[in-house]
Amino acid sequence: MIKSPARNTIADVARHAGVSKATVSRFLNHRETLLSPEIAIRVETAIAQLGYTPSPMAQSLKRGRSRLIGLVVADITNPYSVAVLRGAEQACREAGYLLMLFNLGNEGERETAGIHALSSYRVEGFILNTMGHDAGALLETARQGKPMVLVDRLHKGLDVDFVSLDNHQAIYLSAQHLFDAGYHELLLVTEPLGEVSSRVERARAFDAFVAGHPPVSGRCTESREQDRDALADALRACRDRARARSAMPAIIANNAVVTLRVVAAVDRLGWELGKDIGLVGIDDTEWAPYVGPGISTVSQPTNELGRKAAQCLMQRVAGSTVAARQILLPGTLMARGSSRPATA
Amino acid sequence: MIKSPARNTIADVARHAGVSKATVSRFLNHRETLLSPEIAIRVETAIAQLGYTPSPMAQSLKRGRSRLIGLVVADITNPYSVAVLRGAEQACREAGYLLMLFNLGNEGERETAGIHALSSYRVEGFILNTMGHDAGALLETARQGKPMVLVDRLHKGLDVDFVSLDNHQAIYLSAQHLFDAGYHELLLVTEPLGEVSSRVERARAFDAFVAGHPPVSGRCTESREQDRDALADALRACRDRARARSAMPAIIANNAVVTLRVVAAVDRLGWELGKDIGLVGIDDTEWAPYVGPGISTVSQPTNELGRKAAQCLMQRVAGSTVAARQILLPGTLMARGSSRPATA
DNA sequence: TTGTATGCGTTATCAC
DNA sequence: GTGATAACGCATACAA
């Protein structure tokens, strides 16, 4: 490998091999087109000697394809986002695509800026896990026919591929499990519903479950990070309602962040999980087995979600024009101490 | 904003404003060069009307600057990497750079592939948090004079900026804290040292501490994910040694992953943290307060690390040529139940 | 089968 | 001040 002050170009290779640039380019892109073996060899060795790599920038300019995928994440701090990101990155890389990352840091207003920034780099498609505060840029992008796939959060009026946990199944799984364990006073704790489709869907599924199981009584409360007292109050109220009808109370936490808040609140109240109150959290985490008696969770196939999302996108990028799909993957129950059979 | 089937170019703007491409380009890049106000206005409105954005690809091709930063991470699953990533992304964005992400997924062999992939996109600099299995590509990149900054892991023979937790300080902080709490039989649990500089440094600091505090006896054990029994054995042995000299045993876990393993092992042994054995983990996590009696940790200023790394890089990219810096940030002790004063 | 010429969207070097 | 025009690195239609 020859020392390269600047990067060498296709022209360098051509000169080195004593052929034209076109020939080198053909060697690279149309291997099927027969080049005379002798020339092929010359080009090949020249490439090897110079350690030549085509400039994706120039290629992109010429072909109009960048081999880049834009990934916009609501919050890179959220383990869920990361897990999905991981799956997506794998699938993209395997397909020869690189990922450009834009993190919203939970500032929904930056959504448009992010999409435009990535867009300007001519990414060939988007994987979006956003807040949905500003569908404007999304619509614009969709209208331009640029492929995109939504993860976890659906935006109304956007007819595109969508990959997500089967929220209905996940909630039913949790609720049924708690029900079977003897918890009949349920409380769903969620982050503010707002426009976030996954949260709304889970709340709806929860209501449906409660409606379909008469012995069960259930409510839903929104929890904000700042307001710890409100959550504690909601927990106390739930337990009081349970006592009044001599039932056992239990919480379903809508995601890992909320689960941790519930754990903290229960801790401050001096209660014991799986004894004073039941708990199932959506999103399995590595620490769940070791908090208190172990926290029961519904595990999302995050890696698979990311992969599926990327695969959908790759198909579209490759030109597929099938109708928008909705891919719903089921969650798995991880039963632990926090939902052990209630002893009234 | 006019509907755009394809993206409009500088030529479109020029036509729309009735000027030449050169003029538009000047308007964009050399605002200081006086254009006649009348023309400036025409260009400005044309740009606005067409919603024109320059193509970074073409700019990159022409100027040789991509406004891209390459980020190579050993393992995106590691919360530490993510936290750093977050800080770095912020700083880069603020400076008008976008991040290209390459995740090694703990497969060190892919390091070269990653660097080459990003390199081919002409990223202007690298932020690296890698395994160090293959310094070849790094050296090559450094030799080409491309700026880079190492995070957490130093590679020998590479004279570049380095940003990291002050490992010596962090270990001394942990050890002194345990010592003060009455734990005199210490065990450092680390992932396999290998060539990973941060692990080796911590082990050295640990040895130094032990050597400097005669009442203290200390060992170090490497823990692998597959081999749970080995870790349990090491813990048992540590406790036995402690008993033999009627001292109290305690663990220092080298990072969050290991902390969790230790927690699991202690759990299986039926021991109680802060009672049968002490524990301080490096890396603070959101779950640390809620596992067992609360896990004492040393918190890393991760966000700050990421920002500092990105800032160093921005300076270099901007042409600064100061000598390679070593930026060491101190950790903060978060004392919790797992290191409560020992009651022999 | 191989070489020549052109253009992708920009910026920079000239002239005017 | 402003406008042609070449060049960045590459792929391709066309000519040979």
A291 touches chain B (CB under 8 A): yes
Q: Does residue B103 have a pLDDT over 80?
A: yes
- Whole-angstrom CA distances from A278 to A124, A147, A239, A245, B4 are 46, 43, 10, 16, 55
- The tokens for B335 are 């004392």
pLDDT at A41: 92
Q: Which amino acid is located at A24 in the chain?
A: V
Q: Choose the closest CB to A120 out of B53, B121, B292.
A: B53
Chain-centre distance for alpha carbon B217? 32
Average pLDDT over residues A163-189: 97
Residue A4 has what pLDDT? 45
B68-165+303-329 has which fold? Answer: Rossmann fold (3.40.50)
Tell which of B85, B101, B287, B336 to mutate to test the A interface (max A CBs under 10 Å): B287
Strand partners, A193: none
* The model scores a pTM over 0.75: yes
Tell me the per-residue pLDDT of A47-99, one tens digit each, with 9 for 90 and over.
999 989 899 889 999 988 888 999 998 888 888 888 888 899 889 988 888 88
Asked if the C-beta of A73 comes within 8 angstroms of chain B's C-beta atoms, the answer is no
B309 and A CB contact within 8 Å: no
Distance CA A93, CA A116 (A): 23
Tell which residue, A198, A279, A204, A193, has the closest CA to residue A235.
A279
Closest residue (Cα, C1') to D8 = B62
Given a contact cutoff of 8 angstroms between Cβ atoms, the answer to whether B236 and B266 are in contact is no
Asked if the Cβ–Cβ distance from B260 to A290 is below 8 Å, we say: yes
- Please check whether strand C approaches the CB of A38 to within 7 Å: yes
Give, as ranges, the nucleotides of chain D with any atom within 7 Å of a protein CB: 1-13
Which residue intervals of chain A bear CATH 3.40.50.2300? 68-165+303-329, 167-300+332-339
The H-assigned helical ranges of chain A are 10-17, 21-29, 37-50, 56-63, 79-94, 110-120, 135-143, 167-180, 197-212, 228-244, 256-269, 302-317
Q: Contact B72/B151 with Cβ under 8 angstroms?
A: no
- The answer to whether A66 faces chain B, any CB pair under 8 Å, is yes
Q: Which residues of B fall within a CB distance of 8 Å from A61?
A: 55, 57-58, 61
**Distances A114 to A97, A105, A118 between C-alpha atoms, Å:** 19, 11, 6
Radius of gyration of chain B (CA): 26
List protein-proximal bases of chain C (any atom < 7 A from a CB). Answer: 1-5, 7-13
Cβ–Cβ below 8 Å for B60 and A56: no
Residue nearest the C1' of C7 (CA based):
A62
Which of A311, A301, A303 is CA-nearest to residue A94? Answer: A311
Note whether A100 contacts B: Cβ–Cβ < 8 A.
yes
Longest Cα separation, chain A: 91
User: Average pLDDT of B55-77?
Assistant: 88
Give me the amino acid identity at B254: N
CB atoms under 10 Å from CB of A343, counted, come to: 8
CA angle B75, B78, B83 (to 5 degrees): 110
Which pLDDT tens digit goes with each residue over B322-339?
999 999 999 999 999 999
Which candidate from A86, A144, A260 shows the least CB-CB separation from B286? A260
Look over chain B and give the mean of its residue pLDDT values, rounded to a whole number.
90
How many other β-carbons are positioned within 10 Å of the β-carbon of residue B311?
20
Residue B331: predicted pLDDT: 98
Nearest nucleotide relative to A61: CA against C1':
C8
DSSP letter at B45?
H
For residue A293, what is the nearest residue in chain B, using CA coordinates? B292
pLDDT at B2: 44
pLDDT (mean) for A183-204: 94
B105: pLDDT confidence band, cut at 50, 70 and 90? confident
**Which chain B residues are Cβ-neighbours of A260 within 8 angstroms?**
286-287, 290
Where residue A64 falls (left for φ over 0; alpha for ψ -120 to 50; beta otherwise) is left
- Verify whether the Cβ–Cβ distance B100 to A102 is below 8 Å: no
Q: How far is the C-alpha of A273 from the C-alpha of B326, rounded, in Å?
A: 46
Q: What is the mean pLDDT of residues A279-299?
A: 95
pLDDT tens, residue by residue, A112-150 = 888 888 888 889 999 998 876 767 777 777 777 889 999
By C-alpha distance, the chain B residue nearest A8 is B120
Q: What pLDDT does residue A184 have?
A: 97
Q: Which two tokens stand for residue B189?
A: 């649990």
- For residue A2, what pLDDT is reported? 42
Q: Which of residues 56-85 of B touch strand C (CB under 7 A)?
A: 58-59, 61-63
Compute and round to an integer the Cα radius of gyration of chain A.
26
CA to C1' distance (Å), from B60 to D10 = 14
- Distance separating alpha carbons of residues B299 and B165, to the nearest angstrom: 10
Using a CB-CB distance cutoff of 8 angstroms, which residues of chain B are in contact with residue A264? 289-290
B10-54: CATH topology is 434 Repressor (Amino-terminal Domain) (1.10.260)
Confidence check: pLDDT of B3 > 80: no
Region A2-8: mean pLDDT is 59
Q: Which fold has domain B167-300+332-339?
A: Rossmann fold (3.40.50)
Q: Is residue A1 scored above 50 in pLDDT? A: no
Q: Is B100 on the interface with A (CB under 8 A)?
A: yes
- Write the residue in A55, A103, A291 that is nearest to B89 by C-beta: A103
Query: Which pLDDT does position A6 carry in this prediction?
Result: 64
Strands (E), chain B: 68-73, 98-103, 125-129, 148-151, 161-165, 183-190, 217-222, 248-253, 278-282, 296-299, 326-329, 332-334
How many whole angstroms separate alpha carbon B296 and alpha carbon A220? 34
Per-residue pLDDT of A205-225, as tens digits, reads: 999 999 999 999 999 999 998
Task: Give residue for tokens 């900054």.
Answer: B149
At A105-116, the pLDDT tens digits run 878 788 888 888
Number of CB atoms found within 10 A of residue A193's CB: 17
Cβ contact A253:A281 at 8 Å: yes
Per the document, the length of chain A is 344
Whether the CB of A11 is less than 7 Å away from nucleic strand D comes out as yes
Contact (CB<8Å) B57/A287: no
Strands A98-103 and B98-103: antiparallel
| Contact (CB<8Å) B103/A117 | no
The C-alpha angle B286, B291, B296, rounded to 5 degrees, equals 70
Nearest CA to B113 among B104, B122, B105, B121?
A: B104
**Could you say which residues 20-59 of protein chain A have a Cβ atom less than 7 A away from any atom in strand D?**
21-22, 25-26, 28-30, 53-55, 58-59
State how beta strands B332-334 and A125-129 pair: unpaired
What average pLDDT does the segment B156-170 reach? 93
Residue B4 pLDDT exceeds 80? no
Task: Pick the closest to residue B102 from B80, B140, B75, B122 (CA basis).
Answer: B75
CB pairs under 8 A between A and B: 107
Q: Is the CB of B169 under 7 A from strand C?
A: no
> In terms of CA atoms, which chain A residue is nearest residue B106?
A86
DSSP A338: G
Name the minimum distance, in Å, from the CA of A56 to any CA of chain B: 6
